[in-house]
Amino acid sequence: MNKPAGEKVPKPMQVKFEEITNLTDAFCSQYLNAEYVEMSRLLAAALCRKRPSPLVTGQAKTWACGIVHALGMVNFLFDSSQTPHVKASEIYKHFAVAESTGQGKSKTIRDAMKMSYYNADWCLPSRIEQNPMAWMISVNGFILDARHVAREIQEEAFDKGLIPYLPPIKDSEE
C-alpha cells in the first residue's frame, strides 16, 4: 500500500515513525477522532523528515505523547467547552510519561514546527473555518479577513496558497 505524500519518511526513520504512529493512532482512535489520527501521523512524518530529526533520540512513547499534546495545544483540546476534549494529565497518564517530559517534548515539537494558535498549518480541518489566522491576508499594507473581501481577491489569495479554501459565495454576491 502506498502512503499518502504527507506520510513519507526517510528509510532510516521508518521504524521510529511506525512505533510512534502506532501509539498515537491508538490514543487518538480511543479518546479523540479521525482528524487527530491523521494530523498526528502527518506531524510524526514531518518530524521524521526534519534534518536532523529530533525523533532520532528518545523513546517512541515520549514523542507520541508530545505529538498529541502539541496538536492539542494548538487546537484547544484542553478546553472543556470543545469537542473532543481531553485533559493534558490524561495524555501523560495514557503514555506513562511524566508531566514535565510530556510538556518538554510538546514544546520541542511546537518550536521545531513553528506551531502556535497563530499558525493555521496544524489546525484541524474541522476548526479551520473558526481560526481567524487562517484567513488573514495583507492587501495594500492592510491586514484583512479574506472571508470578507471581494471574490477576485479571495481567488488570488487562494491561488497563492494564502487561505485554505475559497469561502462559499454569499447570496448577496451572486
pLDDT exceeds 90 at position 45? yes
Q: What is the mean pLDDT of residues 144-168?
A: 87
Cell of 148: 470578507
Residues 89 and 141 in one domain: no
Tell which wins on pLDDT, 166 or 5: 166
The answer to the question of residue 97 being in a domain is yes
* % of residues, the chain, pLDDT over 90: 60
pTM score:
0.82
Give 138's strand partners.
Answer: 143
Same domain, 54 and 112: yes
Q: Quote the pLDDT of residue 20.
A: 98
Q: 152: which 3 cell numbers?
A: 477576485
- The tens digit of pLDDT for each residue in 7-20 reads 799 999 999 999 99
Domain total in the chain? 2
Same domain, 144 and 64: no
- Domain of residue 35 covers 5-120
114 with 138, same domain: the answer is: no
Examine the domain organization and report whether 52 and 135 are in the same domain: no
Angle, helix 34-49 to helix 99-112, in steps of 10 degrees: 70
Q: What is the pLDDT of residues 50-108, one digit of tens each?
A: 999 999 999 999 999 999 999 999 999 999 998 999 999 999 999 999 999 999 999 99
